[in-house]
Each structure stands twice: as structure tokens, then as C-alpha cells.
Amino acid sequence: MVQLAEVLGEAASDVAVIDIADDPELEARYGRRIPVLMADDDFVCSYRLDLDRVRGYLRQGG
């Protein structure tokens, strides 16, 4: 989270951590492919934080 917060700056306060174990639909969708970083409905990355993908997403107006 620290690395993500450094990239997002003030927008980091908008990040929500969701435990998929509390949601059967999310658990079925993502299974072992966690953690997953989503921005609204857009997939950004999974398994590990890919800061290059995050920066690219932000550059594209995400």
C-alpha cells in the first residue's frame, strides 16, 4: 500500500481494500489471483503491484 500511495498521492485516500472472502461472487471471479488492483471497473494488475502498469493507467486518464 505504501508504494501505491506514493504513486497515487492524494488520490490514495480513495483506495478501498476489499476482502474477497466476504463476497462469494468476488471469490469465484478472482480465486487465487489476488491481490487484484481495480480502478472502478478497469483491471490494472494482479498478483503483485505493477507500478509501471499503474502509472500507465494514470497517464491514459484512468
- The pLDDT assigned to 56 comes to 94
62 residues of the chain, pLDDT tens digit each: 899 999 998 888 889 999 998 899 999 999 889 999 999 889 999 999 999 999 999 999 87
- The pLDDT assigned to 10 comes to 87
- The pLDDT assigned to 62 comes to 72
- The pLDDT assigned to 61 comes to 84
Q: Are 37 and 49 within 8 A, CB to CB?
A: yes
Longest dimension (CA), the chain: 33
Cell of 59: 497517464
Q: Are 30 and 39 within 8 A, CB to CB?
A: no
- The pLDDT assigned to 52 comes to 95
3 state DSSP class of 12? helix
